[in-house]
A and B are shown apart, each in its own frame.
Chain A
Amino acid sequence: MASKPPRYSAAGLLTKGARGQTWPRVWREVPLQKKYDVVIIGGGVHGLATAYYLATNHGITNVAVLDKAYLGSGGSGRNTAIVRSNYLTPEGVAFYDRSLTLYNSMAVDLNMNVMFSERGHLTLAHNDSALRTMHWRAEVNKLQDIDSSVIDPNEIKKLVPSLDTSNESRYPILGALYHPPGGIIRHDAVVWGYARGADHRGVEMHQKTEVLDILVEGGDGPDGKGPGGKVTGVRTSRGDISAPIVVNCTAGWATLISDMAGVKLPISTRPLQAAVTEPVKVFLPAVVVSGSLHVYVSQTDRGELVFGAAVDPYNNYNIRGSLDFTEGLAGHVLELMPGLSRMRLLRQWAGLCDMTPDYSPVMGFTPVEGFLCDVGWGTYGFKAGPVAGETMAECIATNSTPKLIEAFKLERFAAGNLVGEKGAAAVGH
């Protein structure tokens, strides 16, 4: 196996700067070939992690990652960068816990400072049913050795003094699920780290390369596509590529890509809006989430407060913001922290989320041979990136579904075996 990508060092920075040397590219730009062993559509954290683990864990390096824009241009660069593993179902907990483990060792594995800050994660409960779900989650978590417990308003006040924990507020805080291993990470650095690591092991990344069609033979549908067919390659804006395995890692655009192979998915695309304030002195020591108020807040190392909300209430591929969202978000943040009333928003953006009916992903094989999916990640895709890449790579290399993602197969919808994560994933980020 090839060694790790080279380390960045202060001494190297100094000598190169002093001598006026040029900086090497972080990843190579190479001509597009006619044939690959694996083509991955989507150059976000999921696609790049899959490529990285294919090369690192399984020695499969004749891999191309295609993106119609630039690497990390979709959800990977638009999320609120929160990672945690305190989910509700045992399947979900095991899966996200593995992801958190990989995030923990990522800086060393990739020789890249990903700025992981394990600062603790608080999910607030404002009513009895929410508090009951928190207790349920805490017990499921404890059974799987996840550090997670329910704490009362006095303990919350000690952890985050800026929160209004009085009984005077419109939605009084009754308790919270406290998850110390949760935290935030620099999402762009994760994307670049995986891209650099994959590149170092021979994987090719092709930006501005849009997939126009997926070539399938022998299927039931028109043009030989659909169930029973076999993938032979992809047609891109830069020419045809032949490949026996094509992986769909395109999040919000997932159904547009799977339609090209004749595979129907249980996914609807919704934008999720987020916003960031002007930077202030560091005062918020933990990630604070409120499901009832549809808001989550964390403070970056630069001092900006990052706010996120729930997905928009109707299907949309349009990522323009809306005033009612910004207004509602600001109102909800002020419910929690009235002291922020003079803060100003710096900017607002949105990203596309691929929502499934059970708030769990769709991973692994599809009825079309050689066409794999790693989609349906909704609002929780970033925190699952590393483990999704690791398990998808195993799935491709061994041609069998790893146990960790057995529950997330596409067949579960036809069989009615849904994995209900709504209680822990609907807003809670």
Chain B
Amino acid sequence: MLLVPCPNCGPRNSSDLHYVGEAQARPNPSEATPTEWREYLYMEDNPAGWLRENWYCRSGCRQFFTLERHTGSNEFRNPPMPGNKVGGKA
């Protein structure tokens, strides 16, 4: 089981959270074309290495946050610690 460092609840089992997916920049809604939206919706970087990703703490604080994880070793880089701002650095 992967231990996910929730910035509010501390390390939690990944089954307590929902994996949202890769953290990508959202297009500007007032300017984006349908093609740009679809690129944002469907295309993935899918690196074998460090990946910025969004999680949702569904059984705990019910907050969304961004973490950086290595997709080979499953190690989290600079995970935020409880008490810090959501998505902030440790």
Interface residues of A (CB under 8 A from B): 253, 255-256, 264-269, 313-318, 322-324, 357, 413-416
A414 with B44: CB separation less than 8 A: no
Contact for B35 among A264, A266, A268, A414, CB less than 8 A: A414
Whether, in the assembled complex, B14 has its beta carbon less than 8 Å from a beta carbon of chain A, the answer is yes
Q: Shortest Cβ distance from B68 into chain A, in angstroms?
A: 13
State whether B44 touches A265 (Cβ < 8 A): yes
* Best-surrounded residue of B14, B35, B39, B42 (most CB of chain A within 10 A): B42
B15 contact from A324, A413, A414, A416, Cβ within 8 A:
A324
Please give me the residue from chain A that is nearest to B35 by CB atom. A414
Nearest B residue to A358 via CB reads B42
Residues of A within 8 A of B21 (CB): 268, 315
CB distance from A315 to the nearest CB of B (A): 6
Closest A-chain residue to B71, C-beta based? Answer: A317
Instruction: With A268-B21, A324-B15 as known contacts, state yes or no: A315 contacts B51, CB within 8 Å.
Output: yes
Given contacts A315-B51, A322-B1, contact A269 B43 (CB under 8 A): no
Minimum CB–CB distance from A329 to chain B (whole Å) comes to 14
Indicate whether A314 sits within 8 Å of B2 (C-beta atoms), given known contacts A255-B45, A268-B44, A269-B46: yes
Alpha-carbon gap, A240 to B51, bound state (A): 30
Give the CA-CA distance A167 to B71 in the complex, in Å. 43
Q: A315 touches which one: B14, B38, B42, B71 (CB < 8 A)?
A: B71
A365 to B78, CA, bound (A): 40
Taking Cβ atoms with an 8 Å cutoff, the residues of B that contact A are 1-2, 13-15, 18-19, 21-22, 34-35, 38-39, 41-48, 51, 53, 71-74
Do the beta carbons of B46 and A316 come within 8 Å of each other?
Answer: no
Instruction: Return the chain B residue nearest A258 by Cβ.
Output: B46
Q: Could you give 17 example pairs across A and B, Cβ below 8 Å? A: A256-B46, A265-B44, A313-B14, A313-B19, A314-B14, A314-B53, A315-B71, A316-B71, A316-B74, A317-B71, A318-B74, A322-B2, A324-B1, A413-B38, A413-B39, A413-B42, A415-B38
Contact of B46 among A268, A314, A414 (CB under 8 A): A268
Residues of B within 8 A of A314 (CB): 2, 14, 19, 53
CB distance from B55 to the nearest CB of A (A): 9
**Closest beta carbon of chain A to B35's beta carbon, Å:** 5
Report A-chain residues with C-beta under 8 Å of the C-beta of B41.
357
Q: Which residues does chain A contribute within 8 Å of B72, judged by CB atoms? A: 317-318
B38 and A317 contacting across the interface, CB-CB below 8 Å: no
B39 touches A414 (CB 8 A): yes
A413 and B15 alpha carbons, distance in the complex (Å) = 30
Known contacts A313-B14, A314-B53; A357 and B71 CB within 8 A of each other: no
Contacts of A413 in B (CB 8 A): 38-39, 42-43
Selected from B35, B42, B46, B73, the residue in CB contact (under 8 A) with A255 is B46
Q: Is the CB–CB distance between B1 and A416 below 8 Å?
A: no
CA distance A323 to B15 in the complex (A): 12
User: Nearest Cβ in chain B — how far from A258, in angstroms?
Assistant: 10
Partner of A266, one of B1, B34, B44, B48: B44
CB of B74 within 8 A of CB of A266, answer: no
Cβ 8 A contact of B43, one of A265, A415, A416: A265
Q: Which residues of B contact A313 (CB under 8 A)?
A: 14-15, 18-19
A413 to B47 CA separation, bound complex (whole angstroms): 20
Max chain B C-beta neighbours (<10 A), residue from A317, A324, A416: A317
Name the distance in Å between B69's Cβ and chain A's nearest Cβ: 8
9 smallest beta-carbon distances between A and B, as pairs: A266-B42, A255-B46, A314-B19, A413-B42, A317-B48, A324-B1, A268-B44, A317-B71, A357-B42
How distant is B81 from chain A, measured CB to nearest CB, in Å?
21
Minimum CB distance partner of A256 in chain B: B48
Min distance, Cβ A378 to any Cβ of chain B, angstroms: 13
Instruction: Taking A265-B44, A268-B22 as given, write out 18 further A-B residue pairs in contact, using a Cβ cutoff of 8 Å, ordered by the A residue number.
Output: A255-B46, A256-B46, A256-B48, A266-B42, A268-B44, A268-B46, A269-B48, A313-B18, A314-B19, A314-B53, A315-B22, A316-B71, A318-B74, A322-B1, A324-B1, A324-B15, A413-B43, A414-B39
Question: When the two chains form their complex, are residues B38 and A414 in contact, meaning their CB atoms are under 8 A apart?
Answer: yes
**Residues of chain A lying within 8 A (CB to CB) of residue B47:** 255
A368 → B minimal CB distance (Å): 15
A179 shortest CB reach to chain B, Å: 30
**Residues in chain B near residue A315, CB distance under 8 A:** 19, 21-22, 46, 51, 53, 71
Given the contacts A266-B43, A315-B71, A317-B71, A416 and B38 also touching, CB distance less than 8 Å: yes
Identify which of B1, B14, B42 contacts A323 (C-beta below 8 A). B1
